[in-house]
Amino acid sequence: MKIFIDADGCPVTDIAVKTAVKHGVECTIICDTAHSIYRDGAETITVSKGADSVDFRLVNLISEGDIAITQDYGLAAMCLSKKAIVLNQDGKRYTEYNIQGLLEFRAISAKIRRSGGRTKGMPKRTEQQNRDFENALIAVIIGQK
């Protein structure tokens, strides 16, 4: 089991790395050249800047039983197809049962934005969300060992 973090814009990178180190799980941070994200206890892979370059590298590295951390529904779907475990930054687990609805919601939101509409942005992150993520990650790690 390894943890892979889609680190571009990920608010829980530090929590994920700390948790991985504490539980003896290998952790890899993947980011593009627009970001320099290095943490003790994790390997960092920097890919060229470009649409989905981080996503494709992560999908090429991940294997069955590994953990992906991302807020990207498309990347989540690709990781699920490889039988990985996928968590978002709030600790919500993406599954084969909820991913299709999330992808449809993303498509509808994109259509609204393309037509000049606006969609609601993310609210300010709370400490409770950080705790929820950490607890979910620990539960997955313990459940996989």
Q: Report the chain's terminal Cα–Cα distance, integer Å.
A: 8
Relative to beta strand 2-6, strand 85-87 is unpaired
Kind of pairing between the strands at 85-87 and 93-94: antiparallel
Distances (CA, A) of 109 to 71, 106, 131: 15, 5, 28
CB 55 within 8 A of CB 7: no
The pLDDT tens digits for 60-110 are 999 999 999 998 888 999 999 999 999 999 999 998 877 676 656 655 555
Q: In terms of CATH architecture, what is 2-117+125-144? A: 3-Layer(aba) Sandwich (3.40)
Taking 60 as the threshold, does the pLDDT of residue 44 lie above it?
yes
Q: Model's pTM, two decimal places? A: 0.85
pLDDT in tens, 11-42: 999 999 999 999 999 999 999 988 889 999 99
If residue 61 lies in a helix (H) or strand (E), which one and from where to where? helix 53-61
